[in-house]
Chain A
Amino acid sequence: MTAAFRGAVAALVVVAARPAPAGEEIDFARDVAPILETRCVRCHDPANRKGELSLATADDLVSLGYVVPGDARGSHLLDVVRPSDDGPPTMPKESAPLSEEEVAILTAWVEAGAVWPAGVVIKERAATDKSFWSLRPLVDPEPPAPEGLPEAWAANLIDRFVFAKLREAGLEPNPSADRRTLVRRATYDLTGLPPTPEEVEAFVADPSPDAYERLIDRLLDSPRYGERWGRHWLDVARFGESNGYERNVLIDGLWPYRDYVIRSFNEDKPFDRFVLEQLAGDVLGPGDPSVEVGTSFLVCGPYDDVGNQDAAAAAVIRANAIDDMIRATSEAFLGLTVGCARCHDHKFDPITQADYYRFYAAFAGVRHGAREIATPEQRGERDAALAPLVARRGALETRRSEFVAAIAARAEAHAAEREAGWTRPPADRGGVEERFEATGAKFVRLVVTGTDRSPATPSNFRVDEFEVYSAGPDPRNVALASAGGRATGASRRADDFQEAYAAALAIDGRPSTRWHAHGPTLTVEFAAPATIDRVVFSADRERLRPSEPFAAEYRIEVSADGERWTPVADSSDRKPLGDAHRRHRLFEAEITPGERSRVAEFDAELAEVGRLIAAVPTFPSWWVGTFSLPEDRDVHVFLGGDPQRPGDPVAPSSPTVLSEVTTGYQLDADAPEPDRRLALARWIVRDDNPLTPRVLANRLWRYHFGAGLVATPSDFGDMGGRPSHPALLDWLAARLRTDGWRLKPLHRRIMLSQTYRQSSAWRPGAAADDSDDRLLWRFPPRRLAAEEVRDTILTVSGKLDLRAGGPGFRLYRYLQDNVSTYVPLDEHGPETYRRAVYHQNARAASVDLLAEFDCPDNAFAVPNRSSTTTPLQALTLLNHSFTLDMSGHLADRLEREAGAEPAAQVDRAFALCFGRRPDDAERGAAVTLVVDHGLPAFCRAMLNSTELLHID
């Protein structure tokens, strides 16, 4: 800092310490502070310090010399907020430039001496505070008794809330839907499947007054309920079965979590327990797989496993992994977008950046990965069962190695005579040359028996060029592809680009590409028989890849017909590459046939013991995460979200503002790992936490009605929606509490309401007042979700396989070559006829029908799915072989169940697909189609029809 700057700093400090001069027009608190507050401190605050500058206090302005009191021209602060000649002002970076008036105020303030009253700290104020609607204590409101309440709407209390709002808006609800509509609506809603024609007819014909109630109860008891509602939770949990990012490797140990979610819904597990298990199942039920599996919730998000050697980048990757857990947890359970406070205080909600890192502290010891789940007792039992087998294996191994050592010792005694024959230099990755007597050949092959890595393993080596030269004065490489040569040999697989490692690369004349051998033999066929006398081959001709594995032990053979082979050269007279190679050669020369078969007996016995060991039951090893704090347990705020800029230390605790409206918790900075997650989980489900039950009640409502009372189910903050029916939301949330956090009673309340039972008929008048039906003057119709579309097609075709649970099926081919490629299948076999919830949902692996109908990729949680209509949907549903297969199966079924008469077939199809009879026009046209073009053509139309895919 220059002397002049130091002077200015001193002046500012002095000025700041004394009160504002009388008559001064600029008032810091009134005029200047709001500008700093709204335009500057979001980035330039103590927790972020963009450009290492905080504008929360005068300190940095002073120490960095941004302001020269009394000198506007000399104050850098003003330079950056004023437009320059060739562009807009450099600050603020993330919003519109300051207005002329704002700049004028700052200028006048500086001119007037830049007075910053002592002790004033500027903080960006979140748009909301603890008085925000979603943070207020949960009350159990009295249902209203609106005027004009129809008698049918009086009994179910939900209806009173809804009717009151309709009444306020001058709207009337729709009458009840007919029974056919109701049974279809309710069945899809609770099971994701269509009702059978028999179920439809039974319900339509049921005269008893509680027919509908019994229908709902039957559906809630169905195991299909968990498959439907569990899938909703998997959306919220951003459940995906590959790790995403570059490698995107499939994860096979996540299906137990999917099954656990389904089971939890079917059992109607109290939701508070469900929360606790998902955050801390390992603490609640150690060794119990059915409880420990819950923590998959924390680790079923995407994470980067590529292995970055750059320490700063690796720190960001770790922070990203924890960020995913923070977002998933705070959004799923609390409806709070805590993730927005990673780099700075939340702009809209009362969540500070320090709060973000309080969550971070809770997950600081969570890592992605599989873990064996067992109690200490179970481990003890297993160890006891293994002990005799392990002992037997050890004894066998000892005997084998003694036997082998004796041979090796003999070999060593004969070493000198054998070594005398090793005269040539050892094989070399840069190239070896073999000359032999000129011979005619159409084929040459390289047979490898050992590599530089392993003298006895004839695979996993490279050949960048393999050349075969013609004999005579003008030798030419007759193996070259350009000379008509053809090379074959097993190579590393790359199913999306077969040529990547192919044998052909060994004869392409370019040492920059190479064959990756996955077998011992490279065979080259020439365009025509040739007389040859020399072979040259290498793994690293350019000597640029010093670790390229290469053939160390080999022989060269020639053939005229590719059947009978004659050896012409080998590596046996070369010096061995190293000691292991030397010993291997001597051993192989020494061992007798009798000894060889004894070694084989040893190996067979060892294999048998190995089988017995493998047969001892293992414990589930599932993708539930591992838990251990890093050596350095301190968690700091990362200034600006950058792990390289640690700020104040934080301890695991509840967020500040929320600790004022709930009973918060505060752990020590070095609290044990499990305590952190358990404390957070317990706080989430505490009786006085108003968010958790509100968020849950709203999610339920959202899936029943297609939109939540709050339209943004994972965002109950300022940027999210406001409740359309605040009192109803609280009433529903209070019911969750009184129902012991069980969901089924709440489903029942909702579905028994008249609100839910309304017809979906559209009325222009009501639509004019409330076009998106927020007040629920009708039941909102919907398109089926992706899984329902596929499950429905399978169901009506009679092919749905209801086997539940276990590893998922795949609608893609999984290719792995360093990274993963997912190729959608053109044919879907019967193994894929299970419910779509059992599909192994890899990330970034879009699969025809599921992707087209908006099944999310789950890179993030998806609280609201889209419901789009695209021509690609039409193409997939029309042309994918799945539709054609199902059209055929549906046709078979119609013939089987309705006989040969087209009209009867058509009637049966309408019953299966739409739950109703066709009218004469529909039947007539259908019969014509069947007669002229066959039953499958008609079935294909039915499987594409809107009525199949839409629910009233």
Chain B
Amino acid sequence: MSRHESAAPPEPGLSRRSLLGHAGAGLAGIGLADLLARTGTAGEPAGGSKSGPGSGAGATHHVAQAKRVLQIFCPGGASHMDLWEHKPALDAHDGEPLPGEPLVSFQGRNGPLMRSPWPFRPAGESGKMISSMLPAMARHVDDIAFVHSMTSESNTHGPGCVFMNTGHTFEGFPSAGSWVGYALGSANENLPTYVAIPDLRGEPPNGKANWSNGFLPAEHQAVVLSAQQPIRNLARPGAIAPATERATREYLEFLNGRHAEERPGDSELRARIASYRLAARMQLSAPEVADLSRETRETHALYGTDDGNRLKAAYARNCLLSRRLLERGVRYVSLYCASRASGVDGLLNWDAHKTLKSDYERHMPVFDGPTAALLSDLKRRGLLEDTLVLWTTEFGRMPTRQEGVAGRDHNPDGFTCWMAGAGVKGGVSHGATDEFGRRAAVDPVTVWDFYATVLHLLGFDHTRLTWYNNGLDRRLTNVHGTLIRDVLA
């Protein structure tokens, strides 16, 4: 029944993957045989491969380094020069005007240069300078490849977040997690392929558009799950007794089976039966993965899940949940640390327009320990070897203070993101902003370059992972993207 799916122009010229993508969307076609063959097997190990697109790592363009991705997203525009990129010139020139024309940015006029409120300290064997507010993350710098010369196409949170997640500032495009799910398929049919974990404080700017499947079929949508919020509609309603549930589903399968038998050739009908079996297995697996009580006391202590700071404890639980999801073969986990723009800048996320110091003294302790614990835990379990960890934000911040206050405005012209884990060279810093942190000055990197590199590590040529929509074979990297070779191990 491919004619009902996203339309495929039958003409030549489409890449192989997009043609196959059209020919059968997920369960509706390609995965079916495998799925039926596997019915009854529970909990495939992480990274299990099948054949065909959308069904496992066997279908990559080249040998993959990474089998799954963890993307940590700090929404609000986390300041590069207050977290990751040391700018001694800001100390030397604090209070002086930024050389160049008077600067009007997102919220208006900017005042003089403002030093970071906290000193930077060298860390690791690489001696990487990192904010003293991130003592736990400092222990991981030798595993991290920093990209200090990121640039964005938008200076606004919503389009900026969507751009960072989809490669497009407009809504409606698939997020990186959906592309990866489309590319790699499931490694554990009993769990979703792509999970988005929003923060206790709410959804990030532009909300659900950040994990949208865009024009990719709905099977590539993210499932929203967090330590504070189970998967919607997962549980059997309490009013229905187990025996009733069983009998209902047996009759349903009987009806659907006869209906499908009478209509040979329509694989979608059998896929529908399979989807109900899969749903049943998900009902068993998902609560297990979300059940953090199965972790040891030591592990809980490592993450800080019982921390007196409610926000930190909540984020720590989501970090631990992330590890459990990755360990069980979820392909892409988008983990958020902070949320949307509120009535006060910088209250619920990293958007420190007016009171950088007190805002970040709330946000950094929430982020630092649990994130570092997650990296440590992935590493000691060997998961970091084939898990690609990304740290992203939608843009950086200005080296200046906003006029009359002690915070920084949005800066899409230069900021930091980083990668660690599978296939990534640790302890390196790629690119740099200028001496004050205003613009990417050395080896500027676009979001498209960043994802070209991510897809490369997953075994894909970003120019060949496409899906036809409204006139074009669309890509995560739009029509751009160059590998960041410096960060490859």
Show the binding face of A for B, using Cβ within 8 Å: 86-87, 93-94, 244-248, 302, 304, 306, 308-311, 313, 317, 320, 327, 331, 337, 339-340, 348, 492, 494, 496-497, 499-501, 510-514, 516, 542, 544-546, 705-708, 711-715, 717, 719-722, 760, 762, 764, 767, 772-774, 780-783, 817-822, 824, 843-846, 848, 851-854, 857, 859-864, 866-876, 878-881, 884, 921-922, 925-926, 929, 932-934, 937-938, 940-942, 944-947, 950, 952
Contact = CB atoms under 8 A, between A and B. Distances in A.
Contacts of B279: 871-872, 874-875, 878
Contacts of A511: 358
A496 B224 CA distance: 15
Given A821-B203, A950-B269, 13 more contacts: A309-B107, A337-B472, A496-B201, A497-B339, A546-B405, A711-B3, A713-B7, A715-B471, A721-B8, A852-B218, A866-B5, A868-B25, A925-B254
B52 interface: no
B381 interface: no
B99 interface: no
B334 to A, nearest CB: 15
A717 B468 CA distance: 13
A822 B342 contact: no
Interface residues of B, number: 113
16 contacts: A246-B157, A500-B342, A500-B343, A512-B358, A512-B361, A542-B358, A721-B8, A782-B4, A843-B171, A848-B233, A863-B7, A875-B233, A878-B233, A941-B248, A946-B269, A952-B263
A93 B358 contact: no
A870 B275 contact: yes
Residue of A306, A499, A871 ringed by the most chain B CB atoms within 10 A:
A871
Interface stretch (B80-88, B207-215, B414-422): B207-215
Interface string B459-477: 0000000001111110000
Contacts of A516: 343-344
Contacts of B185: none
B297 interface: no
A494 B201 CA distance: 10
Interface in B339-392: 339-344, 347-348, 354-355, 358-359, 361-362
B294 interface: no
Contacts of A868: 5, 25-28, 217-219
Given A782-B4, A929-B251, A244 B104 contact: no
A260 B272 CA distance: 37
A926 B343 contact: no
A857 B154 contact: no
Given A313-B155, A781-B266, A922-B258, A246 B341 contact: yes
A545 B402 CA distance: 12
Given A306-B158, A781-B1, A818-B341, A884 B354 contact: no
A237 to B, nearest CB: 14
Contacts of B154: 313
A872 B282 CA distance: 9
Nearest to A933: B244
B155 A941 contact: no
Contacts of B263: 760, 762, 781, 952
A309 B105 contact: yes
B256 interface: yes
A306 B340 CA distance: 13
Nearest to B189: A871
Contacts of B251: 925-926, 929, 938, 941
Nearest to A939: B248
Given A880-B233, A940-B248, A544 B170 contact: no
Contacts of B200: 497
Interface in B1-57: 1-11, 25-28
Contacts of A302: 170-171
B278 interface: yes
A859 B170 contact: yes
Contacts of B479: 94
A246 B159 contact: yes
Contacts of B108: 309
B265 interface: yes
A866 B215 CA distance: 8
B276 to A, nearest CB: 5
B456 to A, nearest CB: 13
A706 B471 contact: no
Contacts of A774: 3, 10
A762 B264 contact: yes
Interface string B267-281: 011011101101100
Interface in B139-192: 154-159, 169-172
Given A544-B406, A922-B255, A860 B172 contact: yes
Given A868-B26, A946-B259, A857 B283 contact: no
A937 B247 contact: yes
Contacts of B260: 946
Given A496-B202, A546-B404, A874-B278, A884 B237 contact: yes
Nearest to B246: A933
A879 B233 contact: yes
Contacts of B243: 933
Given A817-B342, A878-B279, A844 B207 contact: yes
A496 B203 contact: yes
A590 to B, nearest CB: 38
A933 to B, nearest CB: 4
B1 A867 contact: yes
B362 A512 contact: yes
A308 B272 contact: no
B63 interface: no
A864 B212 CA distance: 18
B27 A767 contact: no
A327 B470 CA distance: 10
B152 to A, nearest CB: 11
B316 interface: no
Given A246-B157, A879-B236, A494 B342 contact: yes
B489 interface: no
A896 to B, nearest CB: 22
A875 B285 CA distance: 14
B252 A945 contact: yes
Contact of A867 (B5, B207, B223, B244): B5
A944 B233 CA distance: 14
A715 B223 CA distance: 32
A722 B406 contact: no
B32 to A, nearest CB: 9
Nearest to A542: B358
A852 B339 CA distance: 25
A546 B403 CA distance: 11
Given A246-B158, A544-B405, A859-B209, A869 B203 contact: no
Contacts of B1: 780-783, 867
A513 B266 CA distance: 59
A932 B207 CA distance: 45
Nearest to A464: B358
Contacts of B231: 875
A863 B8 CA distance: 12
Contacts of A843: 171, 209
A881 B237 contact: yes
A781 B272 CA distance: 15
A246 B206 contact: yes
Contact of B259 (A870, A880, A947): A947
Contacts of B468: 712, 719
A711 B8 contact: yes
